[in-house]
Amino acid sequence: MNERQLTERQHFVPQFYLRNFTNKDNKLHIFSAKDRRVMKPRGASSVCYESFFYAAETGKPDDISHEVEEYFSTHIEDPLSKEIPVIIDKIENYQQIFDNEKYTLAIFMSTMWLRNPSMRIQINDMQEKALKWINKIRYSHPNIDDELDKFEKAEGYPLSAEERDDLKLMMINEEYDLEFSNQSHLEFMLNAEHMRGFTNLFYGQHWVVHISKCERQFVTSDNPVTTVAPPREEFYGPTFLERTHFFPLTPNVTIEAVYPRNEHGKKLIRKTHFGRDEHVIDTINLHMAGQAEYLYASRPDEIEWFKQYVERIERVKQQMVRLGLKP
């Protein structure tokens, strides 16, 4: 490994983006959705990172992590940090958003979506399910004993009849765990075709830009691009374009990307929400909370709202239990 200073805190959500949600003291108000508690406010540099997140193995420094961190910083974040604020200003001032500006936002959404830990989990889960399915078929086949005979001969390790039966049952019943490096996720998110392809998909969706002019504000999270899928109607489930994606840009602006049903209409419309529309902002925020470990807001009352919401849900559950109902 080269003798150079490696960045240990490797962010998967850009700091320039998170600063849109900081308060006057440059702090984020935080709610832990996992632990259901309010946390101490922190700066943007202190959240949404892992130690050597872009390494082949998280937490273990290597040249790969340095190259990936440098790539995102230089080629993605630096130019976007200059372009995104201009587009946000145009949105808030009801100026026309041109196709190239929508595409710039789509690039931002795509990179945030691809590099997030939730994507890493999805990729590893898919690998695990695929390998377990292959092993299940393989160990259910009568020829597996021939394979095990070859294994014994190659390794010089004989298996008893009981060990063979236990191994077969373990594989068939999928009673084992698999661990993966970050290689598949790194290859997936850095693939130029994937980046371009998902950017085009985000861009191709119909966008509703929600602007809050009421008392409630939008929050963001450690998983800023939130996906909401419609009910499964076919074997393979809904396509990317059929899924809804929420992406908060600021406490007052959120993009909702939906299925492009109106091909001849506007590809981007604005919806301004006033005093009676608090429920719209609340619903979008709850979608965000459903797929996040941490929520970030510019005001403490927005975080307090989540705490009170969770407490109300818990009281309802307890009441259902007392009535003999299943919550």
Give 56-103 pLDDT, tens digit per residue: 999 999 989 999 999 999 999 999 999 999 999 999 999 999 999 999
Cα–Cα nearest to 15, from 303, 299, 296, 304: 296
| pLDDT for the residue numbered 1 | 44
Q: Average pLDDT over the chain, rounded to whole?
A: 91
- Sign of torsion over alpha carbons 274, 275, 277, 282: positive
Name the pLDDT band for 316 (thresholds 50, 70, 90).
confident
| pLDDT for the residue numbered 7 | 86
| pLDDT for the residue numbered 24 | 95
Name the pLDDT band for 262 (thresholds 50, 70, 90).
low
| pLDDT for the residue numbered 265 | 61
Going by their DSSP bridges, the two strands 268-273 and 206-212 should be labelled as parallel
Say how far residue 7 (Cα) sits from the centre of its chain.
Answer: 22
Q: Global pTM?
A: 0.88
Contact in structure between 299 and 240 (CB atoms under 8 Å): no
